[in-house]
Chains A and B, each alone.
Chain A
């Protein structure tokens, strides 16, 4: 059976899907990156259950570590996450108009009209409205991030928390906790602040038209979803595979650009090492990133003058 592998390596989590010729997801996996995309990809490929009769005809990578993993797996498509998310979502919902996406480090909005991307935006400076903020606050409150949504739903009067900046939000949160707000209210306030921050920072001036879909890791948080619907006053769809959409999109792209190459199942045995050195050829002091495959230099990135 022909199949295509799509991997989305984000800052917090790594997602992988295998898609067959009918564009169905036949296997998927979601693990945390733990700061090491190469190791995470190896674990992911182990967990994906690539059966012996699967013939991998194409591999696509996306996410912030797309380049190195693309090199490692010799992928035929290496694309940015904005395109991958749009392609995956449009495939499932042909008449979708707005995609809201909140991931670990970044949040983005993609506006789609007639099945093509017409506008997009990504958070630029601040990570306040993203998953990493929520998880760090969860740790602070000693709650599992997974339970965040359910706890938030219990609250009737969410605490008001400054949404503009992570640092402000955190000091506000401490203040609210110290004057005795209940945990539910604080958690609900946090979820609400994520939504407000997202709408203020990312969606500036964009028209959010229905149907709207909410994706990314944070879409699993029911609290955030609830406040999106409440504040926008519109229905917001959350797909059960919302967190896999980037990987799904890139797998579809890999299928579209398929090569005649067949990928072996033993992608995992290759040793990959990245070494960072500084070039002192001029005062630019470029940080050179050298990538070794089985102790052999395969690529160097980061040079500004093109010397390497």
Chain B
């Protein structure tokens, strides 16, 4: 998912004495394979991950590690394992997260003969790496619209990812992070008026650029300051606390699965902090988000902030998304001029 392959690969490389096969980037071929072997009305992340799994198996993988989610995604690994086995591949699928909790960890440690101390050390570095990556990503999303030469920040990010994948230890990582952060801040900028846009929605579609048809890049190209809450740091470390806080709020008293509750509160946050517009994206057939949409719509209407909903499928037309996005931007511009 996105660039998170780098920290995951780093962790496994140092812990396990196995060969690690990096799944190929999601491309049209991945989509095709995923779609071919998935049930039609399953949500799109299932199709993408299944496609990636099969591609990895083709490259020779025999153990697949997956992080399930808080919605029905938590059961997907089982279904996917069955589909894969039916196709004739011999492999094991290990799911690490179910219902928001880490599971199977002990058996995993045992299976791969991982020493606890070593495991802790490299997990710590990996977490730090993810946090740094998310921080840099946040910075780029908020500032890339000001850059003088389009794409210069992204280039630095690519360099950073490459450097991160060759990290030697904790202090090396810190050194690299601050080096690239300084480099990012030095990127020449132009002062101009920009549109502030909040991006919310279902986590997979938000984080995988291929699944959301590069909506972030598109927005930045138009000149938008993009705020996105969902990233791995949020999901792993901040979500629990945030949800507790949200549940105390009078709006909603129950959890709605996955990120539905969070998205409603993020909508409120965006409305209260003078954002010009909100974009909600989800994959088709995402149940938690479908439940949340009417509430999000109502909150946004109450604050009079424009909102647009995108439902991404594997065969959504890219032109259609672009036309709607353009129209949304024009609408925000017209409103701002008044």
B335/A124 in contact, CB under 8 A: no
A282 at the interface (CB under 8 A from B): yes
A122/B311 in contact, CB under 8 A: no
B311 contacts across to A, CB distance below 8 A: 124
A66-87 interface mask toward B, CB cutoff 8 Å, 1 = contact, 0 = none?
0000000000000111110000
Q: In the complex, which residues 251-266 of chain B have their Cβ closer than 8 Å to any Cβ of chain A?
A: none
A64 to B28, CA, bound (A): 24
B323 contacts across to A, CB distance below 8 A: 80-82, 122
A282-295 interface mask toward B, CB cutoff 8 Å, 1 = contact, 0 = none?
11111000000000
A124 contacts across to B, CB distance below 8 A: 311, 320
A118 to B332, CA, bound (A): 8
User: Which of B214, B319, B327, B338 touches A120 (beta carbons < 8 Å)?
Assistant: B327
B330 contacts across to A, CB distance below 8 A: 79-80, 82-83, 117
B149 at the interface (CB under 8 A from A): no
A143 at the interface (CB under 8 A from B): no
A187-211 interface mask toward B, CB cutoff 8 Å, 1 = contact, 0 = none?
0000000000000000001000000
B335 contacts across to A, CB distance below 8 A: 116-118
A286 to B31, CA, bound (A): 13
A230 at the interface (CB under 8 A from B): no
Nearest chain B CB to A204 CB, angstrom units: 10
B334 at the interface (CB under 8 A from A): yes
A286 contacts across to B, CB distance below 8 A: 28
Q: In the complex, which residues 101-160 of chain A have their Cβ closer than 8 Å to any Cβ of chain B?
A: 114, 116-120, 122, 124
B338 contacts across to A, CB distance below 8 A: 114, 116
Nearest chain B CB to A192 CB, angstrom units: 27
Secondary structure call for the B interface: helix
A80/B320 in contact, CB under 8 A: no
B334/A79 in contact, CB under 8 A: no
Q: Given the known inter-chain contacts A83-B327, A118-B331, A282-B27, please indicate yes or no for A205 contacting B297, CB distance below 8 A.
A: yes
Interface size for chain A: under 10, 10 to 19, 20 to 34, or 35 or more residues?
Answer: 20 to 34
B36 at the interface (CB under 8 A from A): no
A114 to B337, CA, bound (A): 13
B297 contacts across to A, CB distance below 8 A: 205
User: Which of A205, A283, A285 touches B24 (beta carbons < 8 Å)?
Assistant: A283
Q: In the complex, which residues 23-62 of chain B have their Cβ closer than 8 Å to any Cβ of chain A?
A: 24-25, 27-30
Q: Given the known inter-chain contacts A64-B319, A122-B323, please indicate yes or no for A116 contacting B334, CB distance below 8 A.
A: yes
B324 at the interface (CB under 8 A from A): yes
Q: Given the known inter-chain contacts A82-B323, A124-B311, A205-B297, please indicate yes or no for A117 contacting B331, CB distance below 8 A.
A: yes
B326 at the interface (CB under 8 A from A): yes
Nearest chain B CB to A11 CB, angstrom units: 12
B119 at the interface (CB under 8 A from A): no
B70 at the interface (CB under 8 A from A): no
B99 at the interface (CB under 8 A from A): no
A119 contacts across to B, CB distance below 8 A: 306
A286 to B326, CA, bound (A): 23
A64 to B320, CA, bound (A): 9
Residue of B nearest to A284 (CB): B27
A117 to B308, CA, bound (A): 13
A282 to B25, CA, bound (A): 10
A117/B324 in contact, CB under 8 A: no
A304 to B210, CA, bound (A): 10
A283 contacts across to B, CB distance below 8 A: 24, 27-30
B326/A118 in contact, CB under 8 A: no
A97 to B28, CA, bound (A): 42
User: Which of A80, A83, A117, A285 touches B29 (beta carbons < 8 Å)?
Assistant: A285
Nearest chain A CB to B290 CB, angstrom units: 13
Nearest chain B CB to A8 CB, angstrom units: 14
Q: Show 11 residue pairs from A and B whose CB-CB distance is below 8 angstroms, ordered by the A residue.
A: A79-B330, A80-B330, A83-B330, A114-B338, A117-B331, A118-B331, A205-B297, A283-B27, A284-B27, A285-B27, A285-B29
Known: A116-B331, A284-B29. 16 other contacts (CB 8 A): A79-B326, A80-B326, A80-B327, A82-B323, A82-B324, A83-B331, A117-B330, A117-B334, A118-B335, A122-B320, A124-B311, A283-B24, A283-B29, A283-B30, A285-B28, A285-B29
